[in-house]
Structure 1
């Protein structure tokens, strides 16, 4: 998939160093499930696993976000397609140097276009740490509706955190 500035594609082995670099940034990892630093060996395993998935089959798929002008990996978009192939969960991570420039909005929007348009999904959900204001704002900007707050839902990095739950129906996509 391509947008004005990005290429969303399957991960490849050569992406491991860039994945390790941005996932090792403590600010990028702050609200994520992994710890920083994110070693190259772990990134190599992750990239192999990401590349083995299929965006059309139930399960997990991770899109690599490549900056088209530089051929550089700058982030990823995660999709977990449910067994019914009509619902999915989405997540996203972007290298710190590329945050705040609309790249995540552009990438997630392209993935949502595919999920709703090509794959015919009924609903896509997203979840984020309640303290992660930029992530929540991105989902709201794309038309996701806040469906709930799960208090002290996740124990991560030594603390209990609240999670925000968002949902977007096919009938709502494109109206934001």
Structure 2
């Protein structure tokens, strides 16, 4: 079962990437402040074009190892992206992630889009457990996870050299039954 795109929330539209999204994708992928806490560096236009093709290649994750990447739109403007990774079919595990362009920070778009991705993961992909992780210094990102009702399960201190310094990572998770009792579950989300 796949979603009936676009996925709608109270204020947002989540839809698959298209070739027309190249400039929007590059607008956040090219920013050092956006990739500060992500693997990799700011992308060139050519690198964003290659990444766009990858994002467009999976309209719905049908097997483990596939990632669903959706554009987050507000009033017809692409403000970011949300991802749902299918980690394990056997164990029914997934992972969510999100990026919102800094020009659109502070409006709750990441929380709203991430809630939609949880709904897709639990509702349509039939996952049992979904995780999310971030750099421990990324207060905004782990704040989203906590607003979603996710539980911090790990704090990895100095777990890897990351961009020239020791990195720390928070790992959060939520189970399907926990999500179903969350105030944000299916809050105006149509999948």
Unaligned runs of 5+ in 1: none
* 1:155 Cα deviation after fit: 2.3
Inter-partner Cα distance in structure 1 for 2:133 and 2:88? 19
Inter-partner Cα distance in structure 2 for 1:72 and 1:133? 25
* 1:65 Cα deviation after fit: 0.9
SS at match of 2:8: coil
Contact 2:17 2:70 in 1 (8 A): yes
Inter-partner Cα distance in structure 1 for 2:22 and 2:162? 25
Contact 2:82 2:96 in 1 (8 A): yes
Unaligned runs of 5+ in 2: 1-6, 184-191
TM-score by length of 1: 0.92
SS at match of 2:137: coil
* Residue 125 of structure 2 is aligned to residue 116 of structure 1: no
* Residue 173 of structure 2 is aligned to residue 167 of structure 1: yes
TM-score by length of 2: 0.85
Inter-partner Cα distance in structure 1 for 2:28 and 2:87? 28
Partner of 1:101: 107
- CA RMSD in angstroms, aligned pairs only: 1.4
| 2:33 corresponds to which of 27, 32, 40 | 27
Distance 1:140 1:28, change over 3 A: same
SS at match of 1:172: helix
